């Protein structure tokens, strides 16, 4: 299963971003595909917080539009919202210990732990910080491989 990080969600929403077209294409393929895919709950929160933030955007996305976009994604028949389960604490401890992250990077560790807990095979992210979590395969779907 592929999970999607908040930065991919943001790029697919904000048309002024250079990554917009590719992110929108990738996300649409997931949402309309047959394979299960996931969004960690923290990424939902971060997506809405980022695109509606007046300190980031001269014209932030109105909250109603942000909620509508998330509603659209959640209508995908194969989307799974990744949330904490009974073994989350154990997995989070392992991720934190193995990666030795602290401070603000604990947020990324939480996302990595949620992915591992739910059997995610690949996290789509443009954030290189996820490379710290060796047990999780991270791919930037916006970068095309040379053929």
SS (H, E, C) the chain: CEEECHHHHHHHHCCCCCCHHHHHHHHHHHHHCCCCEEEEHHHHHHHHHHHCCCCCCCCCCCHHHHHHHHHHHHCCCCEEEECCCCCHHHHHHHHHHHHCCCHHHHHHHHHHHHHHHCCCCEEECCCHHHHHCCCCCEECCCCCCCC
Average pLDDT, the chain: 94
Is 10 within 8 Å of 44 (Cβ atoms)?
Answer: no
Q: Is the predicted pLDDT of residue 147 greater than 60, yes or no?
A: no
pTM to 2 decimals? 0.93
CB atoms within 10 A of CB 146: 3
Query: Total domain count for the chain?
Result: 1
**pLDDT, tens digit, 9 for 90 and up, residues 115-124:** 999 999 999 9
Strand partners, 40: 82
Report yes or no on 147 lying in a domain: no
- Residue where the block lists tokens 């001269």: 58
Rounded to whole angstroms, the Cα distance separating 86 from 6 reads: 24
Q: Look up residue 73 and give its two tokens.
A: 């994604």
What digits encode the pLDDT tens for the residues 46-98? 999 999 999 999 999 999 999 999 999 999 999 999 999 999 999 999 999 99
Residue 142 lies in a domain: no
Is residue 145 domain-resident?
A: no
- Within a domain: residue 29? yes
Q: What is the CATH number of the domain that holds 116?
A: 3.40.50.1010
For residues 36-42, average pLDDT:
97
pLDDT score for 96: 97
Asked, for residue 144, whether it belongs to a domain, the answer is no
From the number of C-beta atoms within 10 Å of its C-beta (0-12, 13-18, 19+), residue 140 rates as middle
User: What pLDDT does 145 receive?
Assistant: 53
């Amino acid at each position: 299963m592929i999970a999607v990080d908040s930065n991919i969600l943001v790029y697919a929403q904000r048309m002024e971003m250079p990554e917009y077209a590719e992110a929108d294409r990738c996300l649409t393929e997931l949402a309309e595909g047959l394979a299960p895919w996931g969004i960690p709950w923290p990424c939902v929160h971060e997506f809405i917080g980022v695109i509606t933030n007046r300190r980031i955007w001269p014209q932030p996305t109105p909250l109603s539009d942000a909620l509508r976009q998330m509603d659209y994604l959640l209508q995908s028949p194969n989307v799974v919202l990744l949330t904490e389960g009974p073994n989350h604490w154990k997995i989070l401890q392992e991720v934190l210990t193995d990666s030795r992250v602290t401070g603000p990077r604990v947020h990324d560790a939480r996302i990595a732990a949620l992915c591992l807990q739910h059997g995610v095979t690949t996290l789509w992210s443009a954030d290189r910080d996820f490379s710290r979590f060796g047990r999780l395969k991270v791919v930037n779907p916006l970068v095309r491989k040379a053929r």
